[in-house]
Amino acid sequence: MLCLGIETSCDETAAAVVRDGREILSNIIATQLDLHAEYGGVVPELACRRHAQLIDRIVEKALKEGGVSLKDVGLVSVVQGPGLIGALLIGVNFAKGLAWSRGLPLVPTNHVEAHVYSCFMSNPQMELPAIGLVASGGHTSLFIMENVGRYRKLGETTDDAVGESFDKVASLLGLPYMGGPHVEKLALKGDANAIPFPRGLSKKKKSYDFSYSGLKTAVLYHVKGYGNKKRDPDKLSDQEKADVAASFQEAALEVLVQKSLRAAEQFRAKSIAVGGGVSANQRLRTLFAEGARNLALPVYFPERRLCTDNAAMVAGLGHWLYAQDPGSATYDFDARASMDFLR
């Protein structure tokens, strides 16, 4: 069955066509980086306007690139939440109108759960139960994954998400929006051991929660100083900035890896699955590979085109949910800014 996926949870207008939950025929993403760069973050009203302008064209492009027409589509899937409510409403209402006009079943999906499913799309050999980690600009969650749709929460961020922290540090260092990839690139020139930034919620504690506000504050004080020791961050040398980026990145990612590995040992998981925008970070992948080697435990990531927000993962998850339970298709749902898939 062909599923048309639609994603408008934040600042990407995306549509994709996926066959049988795994085979990606098309995956079109219209980014809004140019629109929000001068503001250093997403402006909801501008994002919504861009979604409204583009969504019909993006869907048409996804169908054309997939070599199919609406007559060939058997299912529509759309992100219900979480995300910016105005942006979600545009995607949800467009999907409802499109599905209704063609008499097609419509499956609402959770944006964060779709990031989890992207690991299955890229790694069909992944064994369960697995420890799942979603690390992105808005979410940092650790959980046990018994199957798609069956999760048990272990921990989550108590304040800021790891991806959001990357963006804030990038801003402190004068790097462009979006900050994550720029911090990662700059960190390659720095010394990860140059600055002893704190690790949020020490690994010695039993909690599986995460905290990044303290790390962000430590970077802020190091870059700008405090009290009578304030300084101009623009006067930092290129090497000092690179050392800050590398030391911050190491502190931020190390906690994700350590807690995931500890959970895998405690709950005897057969694998670890990592999704979300931060999963594209090469240093994170390296740290997981090094840490999991001693446990002989496979760690799976989505292919890079599925790490950031996209509609292929939405179509894949929608197909899986519908195949398991046709009753998951409904028109009776609303967009939701907050929406948890973990039990």
Element (H, E) at 162: helix 162-172
Q: What is the largest CA-CA distance in the chain?
A: 69
Cα separations in angstroms, 331 against 45, 106, 109, 175, 336: 26, 7, 12, 43, 14
* Contact (Cβ atoms closer than 8 angstroms) between residue 246 and residue 187: yes
Structure tokens given for 1 = 């069955």
| pLDDT digits 0-9 by tens, 197-235 | 998 754 456 789 999 999 999 999 999 887 667 777 777
Rounded to 5 degrees, φ, ψ at 340 are -105, 135
| pLDDT digits 0-9 by tens, 287-311 | 999 999 888 899 999 999 999 899 9
Entry pTM: 0.91
Residues of the chain under the 70 pLDDT cut = 201-205, 227-228, 343
Return the exposure string of 246-271: e unless at least 16 CB atoms fall within 10 Å of the residue's CB, then b: bbbbbbbbbbbbebbbbbbeeeebeb
* Contact (Cβ atoms closer than 8 angstroms) between residue 155 and residue 207: yes
* Contact (Cβ atoms closer than 8 angstroms) between residue 335 and residue 85: yes
Half-sphere exposure of 45 (CA within 13 A, CB side): 1
Cα separations in angstroms, 330 against 14, 112, 280, 294: 21, 20, 33, 46
Give the pLDDT confidence score for residue 205 in this predicted structure.
Answer: 61
Task: For 250-302, give the DSSP string.
Answer: HHHHHHHHHHHHHHHHHTT-SEEEEESGGGG-HHHHHHHHHHHHTTT--EE--
* Contact (Cβ atoms closer than 8 angstroms) between residue 194 and residue 246: yes
Bridge partners (DSSP) listed for residue 142: 133, 155
Give the pLDDT confidence score for residue 233 in this predicted structure.
Answer: 76
Could you give all domains of the chain from N- to C-terminal order, each with its CATH number? 2-115+306-328 (3.30.420.40), 125-300 (3.30.420.40)
Between 85-102 and 44-65, two packed helices, what is the crossing angle to 10 degrees? 30
Give the pLDDT confidence score for residue 331 in this predicted structure.
Answer: 96
Give the pLDDT confidence score for residue 202 in this predicted structure.
Answer: 47
CA-CA distance, 88 to 335, in Å (whole number)? 6
